[in-house]
Amino acid sequence: MKPPKFAYEKPRTLEAAIRLLADGGDGAKLLAGGQSLGPILNFRLAQPELLVDVRTLPELSVARDEGDSVFLGATTTHSAIEDGRVPDPTRGLLPAVARTIAYRAVRNRGTLGGSLAHADPAADWVNVMALLDAEIVAQGPRGERRVRASEFVRGPLTTALAVDEIVLGVRIRKLSARARWGHYKFNRKPGEFAEAIGGFVHDPERGVARALVGAIGDAPHVVADASGLDEPRMRAAVSSAGFGPDTYEHQIHFVALKRAVARAAAA
């Protein structure tokens, strides 16, 4: 499979990129790491007229500590997070997750913002950012906009982004010293997309207790008040995520969540 012809632009400024997107309308598509878009182009599932390459835009590659939060630019690669080359507000959660994304070659190219904008329901950042209640920062012709991660992904391959908006980056609140987290990814082989993701974060100082039923074929299901989460409530959460009892999906999502909670307790 080879893609049909398309035009390619590599703008030097964010403004130019947004202008190209706005002018291109539905026919224009952003290219960052290309790890999802490449295969989609080859399969001709997307046939854009224009690719706008934003991989080297300086505005998207920043990573800064903002005191009580960390901002990671959209083109931060998975391997940069894995290697600790950018600040980690999560006391190890982000690097641990990054390590499980695909293979190193993919992690060297694939980007945080690209993954979120692509919005594959099984993608790690789509799920983990919802768990962390992170904030997605987007920029368009009408200026900057902030969207909570749990509202950013609307469904499979669907986001809150307008066609002329670009993800600038992600703002993540820092976990406090007493915070505990657990993450469990169930996949058939290391590096494959998840069949189920369970997540749990408990930060008593910030009054946060959140649980994740992820990789559900849709926007992730988050339990925002997950303090005192026991097995019946976990099963209820999995059912709320769309998997009735006595199904394979219910079982694997329940176990993933249960193990994430157990890992948080053991941390």
Q: Is there binding between residue 44 and other proteins (CB under 8 A)?
A: yes
Q: Is there binding between residue 6 and other proteins (CB under 8 A)?
A: no
With beta carbons less than 8 A apart as the criterion, state whether 149 and 135 touch: yes
Q: Is there binding between residue 192 and other proteins (CB under 8 A)?
A: yes
Of the two residues 152 and 243, which places its CB atom closer to other proteins in the complex? 243
For residue 189, the minimal CB distance to other proteins (Å) is 6
| Interface of this chain with other proteins, residues 22 to 41, rule: CB under 8 A | 39
Closest CA relative to residue 259, chosen from 223, 212, 192: 212
Closest CA relative to residue 66, chosen from 160, 137, 153: 137
The C-alpha angle with vertex 259 and arms to 265 and 202, in degrees rounded to 5, equals 40
Could you tell me which residues come within 8 angstroms of residue 58 by beta carbon, excluding any fewer than 6 positions away?
none
Which residues, in sequence order, are bridge partners of residue 69? 173
Choices 26-34, 181-189, 199-207, 236-244 (CB under 8 A): range interacting with other proteins = 181-189
Distances in whole angstroms, Cα of residue 215 to Cα of each of 28, 127, 250, 263: 28, 7, 12, 19
Given 95, 110, 183, 186, the residue binding other proteins (CB under 8 A): 186
Count of residues that interact with other proteins, criterion CB under 8 A: 21
d(CA 199, CA 128): 8
Q: What is the contact mask toward other proteins in residues 224 to 263, using x (rule: CB under 8 A)?
A: ----------------------x-x--xx--x--------
For residue 55, the minimal CB distance to other proteins (Å) is 23
Of the two residues 62 and 157, which places its CB atom closer to other proteins in the complex? 157
- CA torsion sign, 85 to 81 to 17 to 47? positive
With beta carbons less than 8 A apart as the criterion, state whether 109 and 35 touch: yes
Contacts with other proteins, residue ranges (CB under 8 A):
1-5, 39, 43-44, 186, 188-193, 195, 246, 248, 251-252, 255
